[in-house]
Amino acid sequence: MKKILIISTSYDEQKMIQETARILGQDPPEIKTTASLGQDAIWWKENLPEILVIRLPKDPYLQSQFFSKLRIHVPKECPLVLICDAILPGLMQISTIFPKVRIMKAPVDAAELFRGMEDLTQARPAGQQQASPRYLTNQRAVVYSSTSPENMEAVLKNLSATGAYFEAEKNSLGLKKEDLIRIQIVITGLRDYTFNCRVVWVRKLEGDRIGVGVGFVDEDTALEELLKGK
């Protein structure tokens, strides 16, 4: 990473990136931090950064202004890191427009931000590119299985238009590959979402903990629900 533009009202993100690069023994990247996203399309064409980091404001109206400018002025090939406080419909819409995006839930630490940026700029062979942008989060979720009257509390670690990854303290539902389940996702500020999913894989973590990757059974419906935000 050589050229980074940060849109933020503070220098926190810039300091984190510079300090992490120093610790890793890497050459310091060229970083510019500004509070404005008022650059026009011509400016972006002539000054396209290697990666764009935006700390989104909490106010929904201000967020909508940012999203509008992103769609109109910023080239779609520009890798984006969006740092936000909660999922909003406009945020998920942006993630379907830009092919290279990481959406991170605030607050983020230096290592998490740096890893996300490196992952976005890393070249991958054909067929290994990420199919859908990921929203990195720590949202509470409840998992239901058609084979058990019980439910299982979990923590949603990432979410995309096509699937999700969650972790649980133990596999109390006996989940295995190809199982059909329902996940209720509690998103701050919006209604709860419930999706039908198919288990893609189950991995054993430390102790009794498990990590589970799932795909939405009806991807079009899942994306539609996320974009509605109602």
The pLDDT tens digits of the residues spanning 87-145 come to 666 676 776 788 788 888 888 888 888 888 887 776 544 433 444 555 656 778 899 98
- The per-residue pLDDT of the chain, averaged, comes to 81
pLDDT digits (tens, 9 = 90+) for 180-197: 898 987 665 555 778 888
Going from the C-alpha of 32 to that of each of 50, 159, 192, the distances in angstroms are 12, 30, 38
d(CA 47, CA 35): 17
Structure tokens at 97: 């427009």
Q: Classify strands 80-84 and 51-55 as parallel, antiparallel or unpaired.
A: parallel
Mapping DSSP to helix (H, G, I), strand (E, B) and coil, where does residue 113 land?
A: helix
Q: Is domain 135-228 classified as CATH 2.40.10.220?
A: yes
d(CA 13, CA 36): 15
Is the distance from CB of 11 to CB of 18 less than 8 angstroms?
Answer: no
Please tell me the CATH code under which domain 3-130 is placed: 3.40.50.2300
Q: Where do the domains of the chain lie?
A: 3-130, 135-228
pLDDT digits (tens, 9 = 90+) for 28-62: 889 999 998 888 888 988 899 999 999 998 888 88
Mapping DSSP to helix (H, G, I), strand (E, B) and coil, where does residue 51 land?
A: strand
